[in-house]
Structures are given as structure tokens and as C-alpha cells.
């Protein structure tokens, strides 16, 4: 071995020590020094690229790591880091190709398999993601993160039994992994296993980024016991639909405390004021009255011991303002009137929308008066609504809160909706509602059923293939035609 080669190796080793110690800039200087003497040193090019990536100089990182794999095509780690750089640049197809190249060269490259699984999952290739996570586990069976991600993908593929097995294996490796407990709970609830599912669901408060922050009140959590001399605060959480679905528990627990206080967001205040058994409804973010105990709203099913066969489904448990209902009914004619809702909140679930254009097969059905109960419109919806003219009257534009939505739902003969808050409201009012569900549904809808134990007036229409709404709407259209024919006999 020559003195020059030894000097190059020594500088690379010193640079690596600095690099691993966080002295990125200093390591970069040494790598560049090596490349001045040896411009074709693939190791130095690769490592220099990593310093650029750490500094968010992604184009330079890409150039340097690409040069490394050009000089050394069988360099698995460089292909892997090339994939990471492409991913950081948002160039997913090239990232996938680089991760796959790394795995071709080294089938046991744990991180290449894991990152490939993540990017395939994010692009909707769930089967490919599952294979990649299995490859990662083949390289290291105790990699809890890969096992957890595999479980999540299997759950999204509706392979619930397999997902539950993988969640349990994950927890055997990391017993305090909150996300795995929470996701296990969701999978169990989808199968109807409510006792364990609701217990695991309580881990939601330890999940990073959970949409509702935990409330750290000095007052203790309520455990369900009768406390007739004390005031109990129930605080709503998560989305509007969650509050509407689970407020049904408040009349059931009304006799267990001296006073029941419900805290919820402003758009629900008027609606929740119709709920029996609630002494006071307060707006979230405003000062709270005195209370002695508290509980999150979605913990009530666990607290009262709900099982699949004991879900409280006495509807209606919410009520619309009669004067508002009268005003909306005055807007309709003698035709069978259907309210349409075609989009939910995309932030937690971008697949939970059909889109206004997806409603066209319904709008073509004669003899029906259609009204849009959609409040917020996507880009292009306003123009499309204008083009439809009297085929679709936009009632939703006039909604100020959920009390208005409730009155409109009372004024239509049937609502057809995506899984969103107004769908829950129709069910809570006992109004006829047909709900279109994505392939991997929320836990409360269970699996395969066309009915809901939560809402007796609800019919469920499920996707058979991910993202394919056309067959769902076709079934809805067929059933609507039959319903119209039956009502005109």
C-alpha cells in the first residue's frame, strides 16, 4: 500500500470521525481535500454528498453522490443515499429506482428496504410497501418501526387479522410505542372487538401529533362512578363528526353527576344545546366554569363499558330548530329532495372525497330535486354549480353552523354523503342517510356491513377498490332510481 493511499485513508477516517461527531463543515473540508488529490475516490464523493445533504444543499448532494455511483456502480450505500436525496427533492420515482438498485446490490440493506416501503406507501402502492417492509424485516426481524409500518399497510389493505398480529409483534419489541397501541386499537375496533379496542384507543393521548392535544387539568379524570355531588366536564375532541357521534353518551351519564358541562367548538354550540342531560354547553377556548372531574368525549364508550351489542343508538338524540326547518322546507318543491355532500376534510384523509363531478350519475336521475349540503367548495366547484343551474341548489352556502345543517337535513327526504360531519348529524337526527365509504374505512363503520349499529337510519356503500368511487356511485344511483320508482307508485 503506497504512502499516498495511506494518507488518503487516514484523511477519510479523520473526516468520518468529525462527520459522525456532528462537525459537518470540517468533515466536508477534508473530503474535498481528498478529492483534490484523488478526484475519482467514490467514498469521498459519497460522503461529501452526505455533508451537502445535511446542509440542505440538495442539488450539490445529488451531483456528488451520482458521481460516486457512476464511478462505483456496485456501491449499495451510495445508491441508498442517492434515493434519500431524490426523496428530499420530491423526485419519488427516481428515489424508488435508487432504493431498488441498492437492494439489488444488497438484499439485506435494511434502510433501503424501509425507506422504499415508506415512499411506496405514501404513493399509494400498499402492496409494494408491504413487500418492502417485509424485506426490511428479513434483514432485521426486531426492527419495530418496520413491523409497525407493515401493520399499518396491512390495515389499509383491510387485512385486519394480519395487521393485528404485526401490531402485537411490534409491541412485544417496543411495549411503550404509543402509535402501535393506538393503531392496534383502531384495527380491533374495526373488527368489533370493542373492549380491548377501546382500551388501546386510550393511547391516542401519547401519540405525537394527535389532532387534539391532551388536557392537563388538575382535576382528576372521571372513571364512571356516580358523583352526584360534583360537576363533570366532558370535553369534545378530534373532528365535528366525532363530537356529534359520541355526544349520545351524555344523556346516559346525566344522572351520575350533579352537573354535566360539555365543552365543544363554536359551530356545534347551538346544536349541542338541544342535547338532553347537559346542563351547560361552553365554547372551547373560553373560560371554563368550576368543575370537579373531567373526561374526553371519546373515552365515554370505554368508561361506560360499551360493547358491539350495547351501542346506544336511540335516535334522534339531537334536534333541529323547528323554525329553521320550516324555512328550509319552504325552499323545496313537491319532488323527492336529496341533499348531496361530496367532500370531507382532506387534511387527515385525502382519499375521503368523491368530488362534485363524481355526483354526475346521480344528477342525471329524473324526478329528483337535488340540493348541495356541501358548505366548503373545492376549486372549480363554484363554476360547476353555476353551470348546473337549478339541477343543484347550493343550500350549504347559507350554513352558519351545524344547527343550520341540522335544519336542512330535516328538510330533505334523503341525504347522500361522504364520511363527514353532516353524515353523522343526519344519523343523530334519525334522518335517512346513505354514506359512501372508502376502501379502508374509519373504525366506527366496521367491515362489510351495509348498516351501522350507531345509526339505525344509515345505509353504507363501500369501495371495493381503493380510490374507485364510480362503482359506488353507480350502486347509489341504482338504489335511488328504485327508491324514486317506489315512492311514485
Residue-by-residue DSSP string for 320-335: --HHHHHHHHTT--SS
pLDDT value at position 350? Answer: 64
Domains of the chain plus CATH, in order, are 3-206 (1.25.40.10), 227-310 (3.40.50), 322-487 (3.40.50.2000)
Q: How far apart are CA 438 and CA 121, in angstroms?
A: 17
pLDDT value at position 424? Answer: 98
The model's pTM: 0.93
| The three three-digit cell numbers of residue 462, written as one number | 363501500
Q: List the chain residues with pLDDT less than 50.
A: 1-4
pLDDT value at position 317? Answer: 97
pLDDT value at position 290? Answer: 97
Are 57 and 80 in contact by the 8 Å Cβ rule? The answer is no
pLDDT value at position 349? Answer: 64
Q: How far apart are CA 190 and CA 160, in angstroms?
A: 8
Alpha helices in 38-89 (DSSP H): 42-54, 58-71, 76-88
Phi then psi for residue 389, to 5 deg, are 60, -130
pLDDT value at position 372? Answer: 96
pLDDT value at position 346? Answer: 58
DSSP structure class, residue 107: T
pLDDT value at position 233? Answer: 98
pLDDT value at position 348? Answer: 56
Q: How far apart are CA 42 and CA 79, in angstroms?
A: 12
pLDDT value at position 347? Answer: 60
Contacts of 42 (CB under 8 A, 6+ apart): 67, 68, 69, 71, 72, 75, 78
pLDDT value at position 237? Answer: 98
**CA 298 from centroid of its chain's CA atoms:** 17
pLDDT value at position 2? Answer: 42
Amino acid at each position: 500500500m503506497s504512502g499516498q493511499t495511506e494518507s488518503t485513508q487516514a484523511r477519510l477516517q479523520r473526516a468520518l470521525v468529525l462527520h459522525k461527531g456532528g462537525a459537518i463543515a470540517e468533515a466536508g473540508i477534508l473530503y474535498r481535500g481528498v478529492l483534490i488529490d484523488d478526484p475519482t475516490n467514490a467514498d469521498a464523493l459519497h460522503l461529501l454528498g452526505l455533508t451537502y445533504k445535511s446542509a440542505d444543499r440538495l442539488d450539490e448532494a445529488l451531483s456528488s453522490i451520482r458521481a460516486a455511483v457512476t464511478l462505483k456502480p456496485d456501491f449499495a450505500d451510495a445508491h441508498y443515499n442517492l434515493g434519500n436525496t431524490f426523496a428530499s427533492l420530491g423526485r419519488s420515482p427516481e428515489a424508488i429506482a435508487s432504493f431498488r438498485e441498492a437492494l439489488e446490490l444488497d438484499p439485506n440493506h435494511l434502510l433501503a428496504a424501509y425507506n422504499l416501503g415508506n415512499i411506496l406507501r405514501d404513493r399509494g402502492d400498499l402492496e409494494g410497501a408491504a413487500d418492502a417492509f417485509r424485506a426490511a424485516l428479513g434483514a432485521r426481524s426486531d426492527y419495530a418501526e418496520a413491523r409497525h409500518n407493515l401493520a399499518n399497510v396491512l390495515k389499509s389493505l383491510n387485512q385486519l387479522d394480519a395487521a393485528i398480529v404485526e401490531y402485537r409483534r411490534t409491541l412485544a419489541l417496543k411495549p411503550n410505542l404509543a402509535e402501535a397501541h393506538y393503531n392496534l386499537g383502531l384495527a380491533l375496533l374495526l373488527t368489533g372487538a370493542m373492549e380491548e379496542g377501546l382500551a388501546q384507543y386510550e393511547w391516542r393521548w401519547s401519540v405525537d401529533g394527535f389532532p387534539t392535544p391532551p388536557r392537563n387539568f388538575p382535576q382528576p379524570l372521571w372513571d364512571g362512578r356516580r358523583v352526584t355531588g360534583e360537576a363533570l366536564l366532558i370535553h369534545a375532541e378530534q373532528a365535528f363528526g366525532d363530537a356529534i357521534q359520541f355526544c349520545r353518551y351524555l344523556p346516559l351519564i346525566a344522572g351520575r353527576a350533579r352537573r354535566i358541562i360539555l365543552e365543544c367548538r363554536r359551530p356545534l354550540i347551538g346544536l349541542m344545546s338541544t342535547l338532553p342531560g347537559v346542563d351547560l354547553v361552553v365554547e372551547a377556548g373560553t373560560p371554563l366554569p368550576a368543575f370537579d372531574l373531567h373526561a374526553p368525549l371519546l373515552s365515554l364508550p370505554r368508561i361506560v363499558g360499551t360493547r358491539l351489542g350495547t351501542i346506544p343508538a336511540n335516535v334522534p338524540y339531537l334536534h333541529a330548530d323547528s323554525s329553521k326547518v320550516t324555512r328550509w322546507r319552504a325552499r323545496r318543491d313537491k319532488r323527492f329532495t336529496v341533499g348531496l355532500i361530496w367532500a370531507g376534510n382532506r387534511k387527515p384523509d385525502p382519499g375521503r372525497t368523491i368530488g362534485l363531478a363524481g355526483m354526475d350519475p346521480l344528477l342525471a336521475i329524473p324526478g329528483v330535486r337535488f340540493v348541495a349540503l356541501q358548505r366548503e367548495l373545492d376549486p372549480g366547484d363554484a363554476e360547476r354549480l353555476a353551470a348546473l343551474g337549478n339541477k343543484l341548489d347550493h343550500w350549504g352556502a347559507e350554513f352558519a353552523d351545524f344547527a343550520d345543517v341540522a335544519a336542512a337535513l330535516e328538510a330533505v327526504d334523503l341525504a347522500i354523503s361522504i364520511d363527514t360531519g353532516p353524515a353523522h348529524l343526519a344519523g343523530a337526527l334519525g334522518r335517512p342517510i346513505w354514506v359512501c365509504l372508502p376502501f379502508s374505512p374509519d373504525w366506527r363503520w366496521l367491515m362489510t356491513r351495509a348498516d351501522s349499529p350507531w345509526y339505525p337510519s344509515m345505509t353504507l356503500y363501500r369501495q371495493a377498490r381503493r380510490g374507485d368511487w364510480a362503482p359506488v356511485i353507480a350502486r347509489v344511483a341504482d338504489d335511488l332510481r328504485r327508491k324514486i320508482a317506489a315512492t311514485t307508485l
